[in-house]
Chains A and B, each alone.
Chain A
């Protein structure tokens, strides 16, 4: 049954519209088939797999050092946190820990990643809802963070900085100063962001009461990240199952109220401030010492199963390694946050107008390569 061969009007008089895979508001190659009654959404069917690379199959023939780099290409906006999840899972299997210095560097990079990811999301949300200016404002600050990444590890987007036992290289001598000046710049802009978009009447009308997700549905659909926290569901892995020393850092888990697009928006805006707060605590307290623990040349995990979850910018990423004692994983599964978040889209959008679909999609903050893997 080809998509083009179908009737565009069903027997009940519903109109079938294909959105994507090449549509700017889907932020990637997502294809949604939408059944409409007038302008009201009756049913949504996501068609996935346009960018499926079978990273799980590929990893089965890669070594425990190499498979980590494939994960940068999943959720490319949280590339560092994906790498961190894999490194932590391998460390769990080897029963080693990253050095104290490496742990703090990982958190710092992780929070900078979250910050740049949320900044990009903020710009794109504005763009999706018809405001072009936020995009330029967000990129101004995001560029400064990308430059910090580039200075230390040479890459801007897919950092590949984490290795089992620590990080690949020490931070650049200029790292601390640069982070501090960038934070100062970003902090002074938060009010500007709120003025520009959060308090905007048109923006509020397009997001308040739109795309409601109940807390029960959020848990049942396995939603995580700001998508679930907008509905008031506590799910921050940094609080629930701390890793890499997050238990020593003071920060709040942001919970929203209302479960609509505006609540999800406000959660992410507040999360940016929390990330800045975490970085401020740690930037002057990076312990001295090695940036990498000593590991063997060829890593072999003992027979067994290892599960590690982390909080990416979009929610809970789970890495599940099944080892048979060889030098590459027997089976690896990535429980990606976007895949589960996307499955709740139909529930959120049913009964809304088709124009609201764009607002709903942009506040779920989808990254399609993470859905398809």
Chain B
């Protein structure tokens, strides 16, 4: 499917979503609460069948956080990016997608570890790279480490 066709089909299912086409991929912009139904449709609808989540990450924009899901369909060979805005910076939460793509399990733990985003209904929400007793979330822009020396 071309980007335009994907856009039409997604709009038919979810009339409210916004798009951003400035980059390489077609971006679907949503709020964190609207994630599950959209993601489920993208994975299971035959015309989309995005079966491969090739990148899952988070961006800290200081005023809000953005979860970014890069998706590829192995059968149709088309890409899409879903961006979910998390407005609450102090207590960020979003639904997990690790029951849909198993790779999300590790990647969500990484985001939790480095950004502090809590994934609801994740089976194993622990830090993955840092120590369990680590204070703060290093990839957040407001993170301060007292031991860090500025040269």
Contacts and interface: CB of A to CB of B under 8 A. Distances in A.
Interface of A: 1, 48-49, 52, 54, 56-57, 92, 217, 219-222, 233-234, 240, 304-307, 309, 316, 318, 320, 322, 330-331, 333, 335, 339-340, 342-344, 347, 372-373
Given A322-B59, A335-B55, 16 more contacts: A217-B102, A219-B52, A219-B74, A220-B51, A221-B102, A221-B103, A234-B74, A240-B77, A318-B55, A320-B57, A330-B59, A331-B60, A333-B55, A335-B54, A339-B107, A340-B106
Main secondary structure of the interface of B (DSSP, over half): loop
B128 A49 contact: yes
Contacts of B68: 320
B128 A220 contact: no
Nearest to A220: B102
Contacts of B23: 304-306
B139 A57 contact: yes
Nearest to B20: A305
Main secondary structure of the interface of A (DSSP, over half): mixed
Nearest to B111: A333
Contacts of A373: 129
A57 B138 contact: yes
Interface of B: 22-25, 51-55, 57, 59-60, 68, 70, 74, 77, 101-103, 105-107, 110, 114, 128-132, 138-139
Contacts of B77: 240
A304 B22 contact: yes
Which of B60, B106, B130 has most chain A Cβ within 10 Å?
B106
Contacts of B51: 219-220
A132 to B, nearest CB: 34
B55 A307 contact: yes
11 contacts: A49-B129, A49-B131, A52-B129, A54-B139, A219-B52, A222-B103, A306-B24, A307-B25, A320-B68, A320-B70, A333-B55
A92 B105 CA distance: 30
Given A56-B139, A57-B138, A304-B22, A343 B55 contact: no
B82 to A, nearest CB: 13
Contacts of A309: 54
A49 B131 CA distance: 8
Contacts of A233: 74
A344 B101 CA distance: 12
Contact of A222 (B54, B114, B131): B54
B28 to A, nearest CB: 14
B99 to A, nearest CB: 10
B106 A372 contact: no
Contacts of B139: 54, 56-57, 331
A316 B54 contact: yes
Contacts of B129: 48-49, 52, 372-373
Among all A-B residue pairs, the 10 with the closest Cβ atoms: A222-B103, A49-B129, A343-B106, A333-B57, A220-B102, A335-B55, A52-B129, A221-B102, A331-B59, A305-B23
A17 B90 CA distance: 39
Contacts of B55: 307, 318, 320, 333, 335
B22 to A, nearest CB: 6
A340 B55 CA distance: 10
B137 to A, nearest CB: 11
Nearest to A319: B55
A372 B130 CA distance: 10
Contacts of B105: 343
A347 B105 CA distance: 13
A217 B106 CA distance: 15
A320 B81 CA distance: 12
Nearest to B56: A335
B101 A220 contact: yes
A254 B146 CA distance: 50
Contact of B128 (A48, A57, A240, A333): A48
Contacts of A372: 129
A307 B131 CA distance: 30
Contacts of A318: 54-55, 70
Nearest to B103: A222
B22 A343 contact: no
Nearest to B140: A57
Contact of A307 (B22, B24, B102, B114): B24
